[in-house]
Amino acid sequence: MTAQEYAFTVLAVIGAIAAIAVVTARNVVHAALYLVVTLASVGGVYLVLSAEFVAWVQILIYVGAIVILFLFGLMLTKAPIGRDALDNEHQWVPMMVSGGVFAGLVFLIDRAFHLDSRARFAAFPAPTARVGDSLFRGFVLPFEAVSFLLLAALIGAVVLARKDEAK
């Protein structure tokens, strides 16, 4: 095995363990933090597979934005956060689903690494440079406008939550 395959295996194992921890966590905040580890390991897998643009988008958008919004939503609502929030007798259902997905991914990855993928995909150019160039040159303003709107929505949620709390 090459160093790339070892790194891929380590990141996949870390991501799988963190994904199982997301499902089995008894605290919602801990589950969200395990989700950060899972999504970061997916970004690391993209880096190992030489898809740098997709990796950084994964890390910036999912780890940096979506999970942070999820945590803010947890903190701004009056939802129970501790052990009572996730105390459930049906934890075996998500564990079975995640085990099935994990088994399917192991099967697909095993099949993919036994193929000569370098010769098979060598004719396709990597389009990520063109996508990144067009995104960061022509669409920076709309991208920043969407981030500003998300921030305004978050501030609006805080204001609405504070007004409900005062009543």
- Distance between CA 10 and CA 57 in Å, rounded? 21
The boundaries of the domain holding residue 131 are 127-167
How confident is the model over 61-90, as pLDDT tens digits?
A: 888 777 777 777 777 766 666 555 555 667
* Residue 93 confidence (pLDDT): 82
Q: Are 120 and 138 within one domain?
A: no
* Residue 2 confidence (pLDDT): 86
Q: Are 58 and 82 within one domain?
A: yes
Q: Are 55 and 131 within one domain?
A: no
Give how many domains the chain has, as a whole number. Answer: 2
What percent of the chain clears pLDDT 70, i.e. is strictly above it? 70
DSSP state string for 81-144: -STTTS--TTTHHHHHHHHHHHHHHHHHHHHHHHS-HHHHHTTS--THHHHHHHHHHHSHHHHH
Q: Are 43 and 9 within one domain?
A: yes
- SS3 state at 158: helix
Q: Are 49 and 90 within one domain?
A: yes
Question: Residue 115 — very low, low, confident or very high, per pLDDT cuts 50/70/90?
Answer: low
Q: How many of the other CB atoms lie within 10 Å of CB of 39?
A: 22
pTM over 0.75: no
Q: Are 120 and 133 within one domain?
A: no
Q: Are 114 and 162 within one domain?
A: no
Q: Are 80 and 112 within one domain?
A: yes
* Residue 55 confidence (pLDDT): 85
- Distance between CA 70 and CA 77 in Å, rounded? 11
How confident is the model over 14-43, as pLDDT tens digits?
A: 999 999 998 888 777 788 889 889 999 999
- Distance between CA 139 and CA 143 in Å, rounded? 6
Query: Which has the minimum average pLDDT: 25-34, 56-65, 112-121?
Result: 112-121
Q: Are 110 and 43 within one domain?
A: yes
Q: Are 113 and 132 within one domain?
A: no
Mean pLDDT calculated for residue range 105-118? 69
CATH number for the domain spanning 79: value is: 1.20.120.1200
